[in-house]
Each structure stands twice: as structure tokens, then as C-alpha cells.
Amino acid sequence: MPYQKINSSSGRNPPYFVGCSAAGCTTTSARGEHDSLALRIGFSYCLKHLELSENKVRNRVNDSLCVDLSMITVIFYSLQLSANGQVEQLSAFALTGENFSAVIKTTIRATQSPNLKVIPPEIFDVIAEDLTAAITRFLQWTRMVHSMRMQGNQEMNNILLTAHGGACGDHVYLIRAMLACGMS
């Protein structure tokens, strides 16, 4: 497979991106949300040039379906960010009907949320919680929802967190907030 070297000013080994093997194609695993998808999962051609009749594709799909979907708990969540990009509200619900909500203290109360804007500062100070406490409570809630659904199973790998635009927004901010709190 051809690789495209990306220059790095950090002095460390630069990352490598897989390029499509089709003649003249410039798609790499780093460029294009859909065309590069096949390159990210190990094929040598982007989606435009991938032969879908290949046994290789069929085998890869069959191998990836070995997860028992009945063991997965799906939780939808959403973050609201303050004007300076801090998480100020975290809400979630599970397909089983449970829901979660947290109002989070930020360094500057520059809320973007129409719900939080109407809350007087005195009440906001009472209901808002520390970021670490809110995320810890959220993780405990996800474990509890999954455990109740699966009769005691608390395997975190079987919990699927999903959000609208998650990969480009909510997932990034949630992970960044967790890392800021010392969580992994």
C-alpha cells in the first residue's frame, strides 16, 4: 500500500496516511469523510474504486458482525457548550426510557443555552455542579442503565454513546472534558 508522508514540525515521527491504490486517485485515509472510509478500515482502495463484489469485502463485513447486538446498550447524548467552549450542560437518554441531565459550572457564565439563560444566577449556583462530578455521575448512570438492561453486566465496551455530529463535536468535547478531569 502506498503511504503519503505528512511533515511534522514536532520532530517526532510523522503520521502516515494510506492512499488509494487506483491510478490517479489522490484520496487518502485523512481526506474525505466517505471516500476515505474504506482506507481507514484496511482496504487498499477508496470507496470510489473498491470492487464491492470482492470476497475480501464480504469476509471483512462478516468478520465485523461477530458482536452480539443484543448485548449493546445505546445511549443518545448531547452537550451544550458555553461561549468559550466549556461543557455547560450534558443530557442523555437510553432507548429503555431512562434519562440523565446535568448543569455544569463553567469558569465564565456565558451560556448559549436558551434553557439556562432564563435561570437566575442564585438558582443556577445551587443546581450547577462541578464538571468532574457531572461526568462521574454520567458514567455511573450509563453503567447503571446498561446493568439494569443486561441483568448485572457492567461491561463498558457494550455501551454505545451516540450524538448528532458526535465525531466532529460532542464526542470530542466529552473526551476533552474527561481528560481535563483526569479520567480515561
Q: Tens digits of per-residue pLDDT, 112-168?
A: 677 777 888 888 888 889 999 999 999 999 999 999 888 877 777 788 888 876 667
Residue ranges of the domains in the chain? 1-65, 69-180
Pairing of strands 73-81, 159-162: parallel
Domain 69-180, second-level architecture: 2-Layer Sandwich (3.30)
pTM above 0.85, yes or no: no
Which three-class secondary structure string do you get for 8-64? Answer: CCCCCCCCEEEECCCCCCCCECCCCCCCCHHHHCCCCCCCCCCCCCCHHHHHHHHHH
